[in-house]
Amino acid sequence: MTYDALHMFDWIKARSGDNPVYIWGHSLGTGVATNLVRRLCERETPPDSLILESPFTNIRDEAKSHPFSVIYRYFPGFDWFFLDPLTAFQIKFASDDNVNYISCPLLILHAEDDPVVPFHLGLKLYQIAAASQSLHGYKVLFVPFHKDLGYQHKYIFRSPELPNILREFLEKPETDDS
């Protein structure tokens, strides 16, 4: 998926002219997005910004926290049967590692009432990113959406504040020419 995304980024970037190119990942796509942006930063062609909506730290943490695993996670052998095969087959979606290699502005959006990707995983990812040396000097922002709003996992787009949040985050800071 990352290589497909790399080719798509190159195609878009070649046709974007001077227009900014942003990467936006949602849920499982946040793992792909962080891996993509890590690769772009390694080759010194980062996007203008990375936006992560309902992200998790890594697929192992997400699988352990996912609602489908609730009845199984306390059984002996849960890690061995469900989680270890992910690691064995190199399925990581390791956003928590990837943010340590990203050098572009980062915005994380997460609803407190998200039943699919627990809010604490998005907050933990933000804390890792905010402490990352690679993101030092870049805007890193976490925007929580209160549980009373009912945005859950996939309705953040309904927020009337979202356009302003994006506008403020994506605007270039004014430079002082004096």
Domains and CATH numbers, the chain: 2-9+23-73+83-170 (3.40.50.1820)
- The SS3 assignment for 130 reads helix
CB 5 within 8 Å of CB 37: no
Q: Which residues are the active-site residues?
A: 27, 114, 153
Q: Can you give the pTM of this predicted structure? A: 0.84
DSSP state, residue 145 = E
- The SS3 assignment for 113 reads coil
Enumerate the β-bridge partners of residue 51: 24, 107
pLDDT per residue as tens digits for the range 116-136:
999 999 999 999 999 999 999
Backbone angles phi, psi at 39, to 5 degrees: -65, -40
* Helical (H) or strand (E) element with 168: helix 162-170
pLDDT per residue as tens digits for the range 82-109:
656 566 656 667 899 999 999 999 999 9
pLDDT per residue as tens digits for the range 6-54:
999 999 999 999 999 999 999 989 999 999 999 999 999 999 999 999 9
